[in-house]
A and B are shown apart, each in its own frame.
Chain A
Amino acid sequence: QVRVVESGGVVVQPGTSLRLSCAATGFTFSSHVMHWVRQAPGRRPEWVAAISPDGNNDDYAESVRGRFTISRDNSKNTVFLQMHSLRPEDSGVYFCARDQLQIWLCVGLLDSWGPGTLVTVSS
């Protein structure tokens, strides 16, 4: 059974840093593209970042490029999101999602999602 579970969401002040983790089980983690997607209350989901199966390629939404870094540890079946210079508009539930694809092309077929972890950026 495919399962991904996020952790690390907390309340932080603007300008600070935070690292989210996502642990995956039930599938060959090292074969799949992985994503982070966030959603503010009452808003549409917003794709944040993606990483290739081998970790050598990544991509980011313009709203987070240069501030966020996605990485993965295939030996631990875990994907991370390092967030710097956090802003109030970064607040929301952060979801980790598996891509059905195993190649780095037209990524974004999100077939399994975690329950999410809440990040609140507020002074």
Chain B
Amino acid sequence: EIVLTQSPATLSLSPGERATLSCRASQTVSSYLAWYQQKPGQAPRLLIYDASNRATGIPARFSGSGSGTDFTLTISSLEPEDFAVYYCQQRNYAPTFGGGTKVEIK
């Protein structure tokens, strides 16, 4: 099983600040890495797929990078609606999710 480790566990930032989230895989997942946003009581929502492709309707302030084992999700300027939990997920093998990063209001 591919283990995905996300850091930090919690990110405390103010609206307008830049957020940088990390995801590291226990072995290479090529570029088959996605990022999801989840708000309380809701299903996850696909933001980025295949490391750097924005899903339909996702604002340009969300961007992804990386390949192999190290990946980054960047939110260039946080909007109030961006405060949520973010998960990475790989599909190079049987899908697995990371433990999540909570982006909270400072």
Chain B residues in contact with chain A, CB under 8 A? Answer: 1, 32, 34, 36, 42-46, 49-50, 55-56, 87, 89-92, 94-100
Residue of A46, A59, A97, A110 with most partner-chain B CB within 10 A: A110
Contact indicator A47/B94 (Cβ below 8 Å): yes
11 additional contacts (CB under 8 A) given A44-B97, A106-B92, A110-B89: A47-B94, A50-B95, A62-B1, A95-B43, A100-B49, A108-B32, A108-B90, A108-B95, A109-B46, A109-B49, A110-B36
For the side of the interface on A, what is the size category?
A: 20 to 34
Please, how many angstroms separate the alpha-carbon atoms of A35 and B49 in the complex? 17
Which partner residue on chain B sits nearest A101 by CB separation? B91
Knowing A45-B97, A100-B49 touch, does A107 contact B91 (C-beta < 8 A)? yes
Residue A11 lies at the interface, judged by CB distance under 8 Å to chain B: no
The interface bits of chain A over 87-123 (1 if a CB of B lies within 8 angstroms of the residue's CB, else 0) are: 0000000010100100000111111011110000000
Residue of A45, A46, A114, A115 with most partner-chain B CB within 10 A: A45
Knowing A44-B99, A44-B100, A114-B43 touch, does A109 contact B91 (C-beta < 8 A)? yes
Contact indicator A116/B43 (Cβ below 8 Å): yes
Please, how many angstroms separate the alpha-carbon atoms of A106 and B56 in the complex? 20
